[in-house]
Structure 1
Amino acid sequence: MEAITFGVFGILIIVAFLLGKGSKSKIDNSDLTNEVREIINRSQDAVKTTLTSEIRDRNNDSRDTLVAVLKTLGEEQQKMQKTLGEEQQKHLVVVGENISKLQTSNEKKLDEMRNVVDEKLQTTLEKRIGESFKLVSDRLEAVHKGLGEMQTLATDVGGLKKVLTNVSTRGAMGEIQAERILEQILAPAQYGKNVKTHPECKGQVEFAIKLPGIDGTMDEPVWLPIDCKFPKEDYERLLDAYETGDKKAVEKAYSTFESNVTAKAKTIRKEYVSAPHTTDFAVMFLPTEGLYADVVRRPGLFESLQRDHQIVVTGPSTLAAFVNSLQMGFRTLALETNASQVYNVLGTVKTEFVKFGEHLGKLHKQLNTAANTIGGDGESIQRRLRAMERALKEVEALDSPSNEIMGLLED
């Protein structure tokens, strides 16, 4: 690099010299330029040669230095690998010892934990098994008890089925239910049981409510017939059709149910209704709300029974409401009857009060006469009383039982 520096510095000196020389000899600029170019070219060649030689020397030196460094690095690496191998071996020995100790400690702790877990598991398992056996025993006992209750229930259901299957028993059940409703609302004198509602009646209606007769009294009452009906078979077929969801089956069952109810209404109307001995309508009592609901649900059936056959269909709740309304009618009638009696009593009181006024007037006149008589002779009576007091004043009082008696009389 120093040779290059000197070469460049020499070129600059030559250029300066030529410039100074050119100014003195007034040489043409083109010649000067050529000379400068030649000098620069020669200088460049010299510099290039010098640089090439310098670079070659530097490369050789660098190669030798790099080889030495690589050799040193290889030796150091071998030493480091050897040292690392020794240290690694030592660490492996230490790690192996620690792992052995850790394994021993872990095995010991695992044994302790296994013993504790086994002990707790055994205790818990025995406790849980005992509780489970107790629970199972209680459940089995409850199941056994439930089976007994189910058997009792099955017996009861069988008995109920027999009751519902038997037509006469089924009717008796409806009668019992209707009678309970009537006896809770009406007095025994307000209704009858197994009543022959009119002279030409061949049978007896189950219940009949007494209504006032034509004269407004209960001497010859007008009967309101109440008959209990329970079309169980047709109703069950209707429920079965509902469960299947078959519209045709439902319609067929409903048609049969409607025909049966209508036939029963005609029978009640024909046998038990005969005005003026009875009302111009009767009541059909259905003992379940489901039966009553299906009658009401059927379009036109409820209205047809009431309009065409003069039959009012009731269920348990509607019969109670119907009888309650009749009870209010009874109370209104009783108020009207009592009001008539009170009116008659008030008329009698009025007559007696007039007579009492006449007698009171006569008594007033007599009292006035007596008062006038006493008032005229009052002064003479007072004089006689004072004279008697003066005469008796000198008489001494005697201490005797008679005095005590007189004192008691005065008191």
Structure 2
Amino acid sequence: MMGMQDVIDAFDELWLILALAGAGMLFLLIILLIVVLRRVGKSGRMIEPLNRQIGYLDQHVQALSDGQAQLSGGLQTVSQTQTVAQAQLMNTLEQRLAEVQAKMTETLHGGSLRTTRSLTELQERLATMDKAQSNIEKLSSNVLSLQDILSNKQTRGAFGEIQLNDIVSKALPTDSYKLQATLSNGKRADCLIDLPNPPGPIVIDSKFPLEAYESLRNADNDWEMKAAVSAFKTSVKNHIKAISERYIIEGETADGALMFLPSEAVYAELHANFPELVREGFAAHVWIVSPTTCMATLNTMRAILKDARMREQAGA
């Protein structure tokens, strides 16, 4: 009985071992199944993006195919448009070329006419220039003659007197003035204007300090300029003094006289750079005038003479 019981116990132990082994095997199979299922799941997840990319590629391939078709149509349209544009460009160029040729022909014809006219005008102007050159040569000879006249003191004085006579004769009636009039002191005035009292007859005497003025203009250094200034002042002062002493006579002439400078340049130099000489003339009752200011002064005198004669006629 004990032997049988041992067998049964041994068999139970074997069965228990087999059961445990089977359970272990089942557990391992379950684990393997789980691992396999996980790997299969991972493979499925890896294949899914690949499938999506394949789908995207199919779409891009389709889009490229559509784009190629559109490009082919566009190229055909561009080719047709280019052909039309080239034809229009050729027509435009031909028209422009024809217009340019016509304008060039017209311009050349007009240029020929203008050239002919210009040559004619040029010949006329050359003839005028020849005539002007001849006049300039005559004027140059006259200038040289004038320089010769002004270089001599006596002829220079005569030049001033002639210019004064011309101005007076144009401004005043002939019976209102005397040329080269002799005063009671024996002095001879270049011009004596018979103004009514007051102020009475007034003398105009011509003075021309040309040498002193030319020295002033031609001075090259300070020493020459200083000497020229001194000479110019001395010359003008002497003229003022001579006129004041000779031609202002109480009871016979006006209380003043005019010193006529026949050169506007000398007159301008005097007033611009030597105002003290002008003031000295005022103090001596000697008023310095140029050809322009002399004419203005004579016009005033003419008005005075006219007014005096009108009063005489009214009184008569």
| 2:20 corresponds to | none
Structure 1 unmatched runs, 5+: 1-49, 214-221, 343-411
| Between 90-99 and 191-200, the greater mean CA deviation after superposition | 90-99
Q: Percent identity?
A: 21
Cα distance in 2 for residues equivalent to 1:74 and 1:316: 111
- The alignment's C-alpha RMSD in Å is 4.8
Give the number of equivalent residue pairs.
Answer: 279
Contact kept, 8 Å, 1:198 with 1:272, in 2: the verdict is no
Is the CA contact (8 Å cut-off) linking 1:228 and 1:287 kept in structure 2? yes
Q: For residues 228 and 90 of structure 1, do their structure 2 counterparts lie closer, same or farther at Cα, with a shift above 3 Å needed? A: same
Q: Residue by residue, what CA displacement relative to the aligned partner does 1:344-403 show, whole Å, maximum 9, x if unpaired?
A: xxxxxxxxxxxxxxxxxxxxxxxxxxxxxxxxxxxxxxxxxxxxxxxxxxxxxxxxxxxx
The alignment's TM-score, normalised by the length of structure 1, stands at 0.50
Matched, 1:226 2:204: yes
SS at structure 1 position matched to 2:259:
strand
- Structure 2 counterpart of 1:256, from 231, 240, 249: 231
Structure 1 residues 100-179: aligned runs within 5 Å: 100-127=83-110, 130-131=113-114, 134=117, 138=121, 141-142=124-125, 145-146=128-129, 148-149=131-132, 151-153=134-136, 155-156=138-139, 158-167=141-150, 170-179=156-165
Choose which of 36, 43, 52 in structure 2 pairs with 1:60: 43
Cα distance in 2 for residues equivalent to 1:325 and 1:166: 31
What CA distance in whole angstroms lies between the structure 1 residues aligned with 2:293 and 2:253?
A: 21
The answer to whether the Cα contact below 8 Å between 1:227 and 1:268 also exists between their aligned partners in 2 is yes
- Select which of 276, 284, 287 maps to 1:312: 287
Structure with the bigger RCO (C-alpha within 8 Å, sep 6+) is 2
Structure 2 gaps of 5+ residues are 1-32
C-alpha displacement of 1:166: 0.7
Q: Does 1:208 align with 2:186?
A: no
Question: Cα deviations across residues 219-260 of structure 1 (Å, max 9, x unaligned)?
Answer: xxx97442212233433454567xx9x888766544332222
Amino acid in structure 2 at the alignment position of 1:264: H
Larger Rg: 1
1:303 equivalent in alignment to 2:286? no
Q: Decide whether aligned partners of structure 1 residues 165 and 260 sit closer, same or farther in structure 2, where only a CA change above 3 A counts.
A: farther
Q: Distance in 1 between matches of 2:270 and 2:101?
A: 72
TM-score (norm 2): 0.62
Match of 2:304 in 1: 328
SS at match of 2:99: helix
CA contact (8 A) 1:230 1:287 kept: yes
Q: Deviations over 1:165-204 (max 9, x none)?
A: 4135554443333224433554434432223334644xx4
Q: Is the 8 A contact 1:286 1:315 kept in 2?
A: yes
Paired position in structure 1 for 2:183: 197
Q: The residue matched to 2:275 in structure 1 has which SS?
A: coil
